[in-house]
Structure 1
Amino acid sequence: MLPSCWYKLAEYPGIPATSMALPPDQRRLLGAFLRARREALTPAAIGQPPGAYTRRRTPGLRREEVAQVSGLSTTWYTWVEQGRDIALSAAALARLADTLRLNPAERAYLFELTRRGDPAAPVARMPPAAPAELLETLSTLSAPAYFLDRLWRAGGWNEAAGRLFAPWYDSGELCLLRFVFLHRTARRFIHDWEQRARRVAAEFRADTVRNQDDPAMVELIDELRQGSAEFTTFWNDHAVQAREGGARVFNHPDDGRVRYEQVTFIPAAQPDHKMVVLLPR
């Protein structure tokens, strides 16, 4: 038996709390996912002796075992698996992820599905280096191409991008958003700056839904609001747009006005990165 001290009242369903605010289909997906991960675990995963394998009618762990180890009530956890509309805190989800031994991809899926920020997500002040295979991909392209991380900081670019975006790279600012809104050079370099800057703000807002509780994300937005009246105006419009690409025009200091078609890719194994490719037009 697990000690009774595993029980906590913080997540007990009888305590008033807000609901998940998730669509029914999404709640059913969550329940099915948790059940599948629970049934994939053996009692040994939570320290049960070998004898615990016997006399089990269903595979894997029981709901009450997952609830106990996670410090949750069995009723609350049962209702989550049943897809009921109840409260889900990020802390409770983190404990479930630990108990169910979720791998990084599964853990990310859990928090994406529930629209919560992972408390264990690393907060990086400096952009992490893009994985080697992504950087190698850049070197194979003749068109300008670069990578952005989750805070839209350049993590790598090829030679063609270094030439095209010389005003950006020469500014010493890795973050695309800071360059666009806080550097006067951007207003000369980006043709029709106001329209493009408004679009950039709307695209970034679409990105923030996955990292709403990320302190670095909140800090960046606060910095932009304090440093740029235009960003504050555009941000307060609450416009949301996908990063769909399209025509891009720049006033290059050496080449004059140049036109490109932008295409953005999300690497399957690195969803926090974007590869942006500019096709000459």
Structure 2
Amino acid sequence: MIAPPASSKGTTRTDTSRAEAGRRRMLAAFVRARREAMEPASHGFTDLRRRRTPGLRREELAQLAGLSATWLSWIEQAREVSLSAPAVGRLARAFGLSPAERAYLFDLAGKEDPDPPAAAAPETLNPLLRLIEAVPFPAYLLDGGWDAIGWNAPASALFRGWLDIAPDTGRPNLLRFIFATQAAPALIPDHEARARRVLAEFRADTSRHMSEPALAALVAELRDTSPLFARLWDGQAVLGREGGLRTFLDADGAVLRFDQLTLAPLPGGRARLVVLTPRI
């Protein structure tokens, strides 16, 4: 016998409150652990005689971060306090967090990082670029603004008008190709449907970073130059990136069918690796 599903009426607020309480407890534990791991002498506090607990006192951390000691106490007590993004940033700098730790702190605080870590260094991307070159199918790498920062010869041959450009012409942007060129409708048979899907994925992928000037400028530019972009952007569709069938037209009008796989190859990074394998 299969039990009927439980009614969700009246539980949404309770579930949300429980989730928020759990997040506050995780934030409290992380802040406390990081504070207790800090060496007082390394931060200019040399009076070590009467310390009963490891690490810095809350008052000392508050001094380093330019915050209120009471505010820190409430955080470590998992109380419901108002956190601003700049305050979380000052706390992250006082802790000396790594990029992954900083992202974790902002996630626990429920805030967008106003000063996110820089993009991956070239030496980090080089192995990925070598991997792309070795893939026998179309493959390309997108950065956080959906500029192509690497692609192989099969991708260049497939994406006419986007990736078949001279290397010194800058980074080709996927949205500009789809919404601001005549090449895209000639390449993609279901162009408007694909454009709607791509834009919904872009919104989901970049929503936490839309305050960045480059992303804001890209959206403003395409709203001005592409009626299709403006209409679809105002539609507010949001979609997670999914694989599946992708179809293209070659130069002679023949249909090419691929399965798309999208990967996030760098932990905590915003780069996306896209591979298209031919569907037989």
Is the TM-score greater than 0.5?
yes
The one-letter code sitting in structure 1 at the alignment partner of 2:45 is Q
Distance 1:25 1:270, change over 3 A: closer
**What's the C-alpha RMSD, in Å, of the aligned pairs?**
2.3
Counterpart of 1:69 (choices 64, 82, 86) is 64
The one-letter code sitting in structure 2 at the alignment partner of 1:137 is L
Correspondence for 1:58:
53
Q: Is the 8 A contact 1:148 1:274 kept in 2?
A: yes
1:44 paired with 2:41, answer yes
1:151 paired with 2:148, answer no
Distance 1:28 1:224, change over 3 A: farther
Q: Is the 8 A contact 2:161 2:177 kept in 1?
A: no
Deviation of residue 95 (structure 1)? 0.8
Distance 2:208 2:100 in 1: 14
Counterpart of 2:173 (choices 172, 175, 194) is 175
Correspondence for 1:198:
196
SS in 1 for 2:163: helix
The one-letter code sitting in structure 2 at the alignment partner of 1:138 is I
SS in 1 for 2:208: coil
Distance 2:23 2:105 in 1: 11
Number of positions where the alignment pairs a residue of Structure 1 with one of Structure 2: 256
Distance 1:193 1:72 in 2: 52
Q: Is the 8 A contact 1:117 1:212 kept in 2?
A: no
SS in 1 for 2:162: helix
Correspondence for 2:232:
234
Distance 1:35 1:209 in 2: 30
1:121 paired with 2:121, answer no
SS in 2 for 1:155: strand
Identity %: 48
Structure 2 stretches lacking a partner, 5+ long: 1-18
Q: Is the 8 A contact 2:100 2:268 kept in 1?
A: no
Distance 1:180 1:114 in 2: 36
Distance 1:131 1:154 in 2: 13
Deviation of residue 72 (structure 1)? 1.0
Structure 1 stretches lacking a partner, 5+ long: 1-21
Once the two structures are superposed, residues 112-137 of structure 1 have per-residue CA deviations (whole angstroms, 9 ceiling, x without a partner) of 3334333333688xx97571111111
Distance 2:232 2:25 in 1: 36
Q: How does 1:30-41 map to 2 (within 5 A)?
A: 30-41=27-38
Correspondence for 2:205:
207
1:141 paired with 2:146, answer no
Distance 1:128 1:155, change over 3 A: farther
Deviation of residue 170 (structure 1)? 3.6
